[in-house]
């Protein structure tokens, strides 16, 4: 079954809007794990607008206690600055099971595109090597239909994460067939290159079932915004269990 990693960034956004520690990111993560989530995802950004460096050690401890994975997302090219020591330093501190590299700029609202993967990938390969040396599995964020997806294996990463925003948009519009086919083809090519396949962005209870039915052998989906939004009405644990039911088919 495809595993569910819950992104708890939006819990931190709400906390940071008032200061203090309410709502508590760690308590929210533990509620998700108690409901059966297979992992926790976070994306600490240099501007510290949601998950911050201080959140990571307790989250790493919680996922270890539950025997599941912590996945840290981020741009490896973003330089360190006050309050943000850099993605590699953060991962060196807590040694997540997986690091997902994304090409976000500092001011980007959310991840909305994958790596291009054309041209010289030497600098990216060097970053992948550094994270792998920490014992992290490395996944690269890619667009569905990227013509160079096989190069992810060339730079030393073990997985791709398919950016599913266009699929979710097409599903909401009533005709997801082309976007779903692009995701399926990308997953197939990645598998043929020896890569694992993750997926994420704008996945929800409304579109997740069709996605996992149409894209074979997805290892993991990372879901945050929709899941946390739905949990405002139903609660975290029931919402996580509902997503797990969708994944179970």
Residue 3 pairs in a beta bridge with 220
Fold of 3-248: TIM Barrel (3.20.20)
Per-residue pLDDT reduced to its tens digit, 3-24: 999 999 999 999 999 999 999 9
- Give me the catalytic one of 38, 127, 171, 201: 201
Residue 92 in tokens:
């060196």
Per-residue pLDDT reduced to its tens digit, 164-214: 999 999 999 999 999 999 999 999 999 999 999 999 999 999 999 999 999
Q: What pTM did the predictor assign?
A: 0.97
Would you call 158 helix, strand, or coil by DSSP? coil
- Give me the catalytic one of 43, 50, 127, 171: 43
**Catalytic residue at 43?**
yes
Would you place residue 111 in the very low, low, confident or very high pLDDT band (cuts 50, 70, 90)? Answer: confident
For 33-102, the DSSP string reads HHTT-SEEEE---TT-SSS-GGGHHHHHHHHHHHT-EEEEEE-TTSPPBTTB--HHHHHHHH--SEEEE-
Place of tokens 């519009």: 173
Percentage of the chain exceeding pLDDT 70: 100
**Catalytic residue at 154?**
no
**Catalytic residue at 148?**
no
What's the mean pLDDT in 119-138?
98
Residue 93 in tokens:
């501190």
Whether the predicted pLDDT of 106 surpasses 80: no
Asked if 201 contacts 168 with a C-beta cutoff of 8 angstroms, the reply is: yes
Separation of alpha carbons 107 and 192, rounded Å: 35
Separation of alpha carbons 59 and 174, rounded Å: 38
Separation of alpha carbons 102 and 76, rounded Å: 8
Look at residue 112 in the predicted model and tell me its pLDDT. 77
Mean of all residue pLDDT scores within the chain: 97
Whether the predicted pLDDT of 241 surpasses 80: yes
Would you place residue 107 in the very low, low, confident or very high pLDDT band (cuts 50, 70, 90)? Answer: confident
Separation of alpha carbons 156 and 16, rounded Å: 36
Would you place residue 147 in the very low, low, confident or very high pLDDT band (cuts 50, 70, 90)? Answer: very high
- Give me the catalytic one of 73, 161, 220, 230: 73
């Amino acid at each position: 079954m495809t595993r569910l990693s819950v992104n708890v960034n939006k819990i931190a956004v709400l906390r940071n809007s008032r200061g203090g520690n309410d709502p508590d990111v760690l308590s929210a993560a533990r509620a998700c794990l108690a409901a059966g989530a297979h992992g926790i995802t976070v994306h600490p950004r240099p501007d510290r607008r949601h998950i911050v460096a201080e959140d990571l050690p307790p989250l790493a401890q919680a996922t270890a206690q539950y025997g599941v994975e912590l996945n840290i997302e981020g741009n490896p090219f973003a330089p360190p600055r006050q309050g943000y020591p850099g993605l590699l330093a953060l991962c060196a501190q807590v040694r997540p099971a997986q690091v997902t590299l994304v090409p976000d700029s500092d001011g980007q609202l959310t991840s909305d595109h994958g790596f291009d993967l054309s041209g010289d990938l030497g600098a990216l390969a060097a970053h992948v090597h550094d994270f792998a040396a920490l014992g992290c599995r490395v996944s690269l964020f890619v667009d569905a239909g990227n013509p160079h997806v096989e190069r992810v294996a060339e730079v030393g990463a073990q997985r791709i994460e398919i950016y599913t925003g266009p699929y979710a948009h097409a599903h909401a519009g009533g005709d997801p067939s082309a976007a779903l086919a692009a995701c399926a083809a990308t997953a197939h090519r990645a598998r043929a290159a020896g890569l694992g396949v993750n997926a994420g962005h704008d996945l929800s209870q409304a579109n997740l079932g069709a996605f996992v039915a149409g894209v074979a052998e997805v290892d993991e989906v990372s879901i945050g915004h929709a899941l946390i939004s739905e949990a405002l009405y139903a609660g975290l644990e029931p919402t996580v269990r509902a997503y797990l039911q969708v994944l179970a088919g």
